[in-house]
Amino acid sequence: MVEMVDIVVKGYRCLRCGHEWIPRNKKEIPRVCPKCKSPYWDKPKKKEVEK
């Protein structure tokens, strides 16, 4: 039997569409989300309001 283990890979998550992907070049931050092509994938839609 092969033991199944969880593999944790660091990647990026688009805050606009929720798409997650692993960058080929880890040193370079992607400018746009590969799925929705949004340049603001790393920024939330609305500013967080402090309660």
Q: Give the interface with Zn ion as residue ranges (CB under 5 A).
A: 14, 16-17, 19, 33, 35-36, 41
* Shortest CB 15 distance to Zn ion, Å: 8
* Shortest CB 28 distance to Zn ion, Å: 17
* Shortest CB 14 distance to Zn ion, Å: 3
Nearer to Zn ion, 17 or 39 (CB): 17
Specify the long-range contacts of residues 5-14, CB closer than 8 Å, at least 24 apart: 12/41, 12/42, 14/38, 14/41, 14/42
Strand pairing of 20-21 and 12-13? Answer: antiparallel
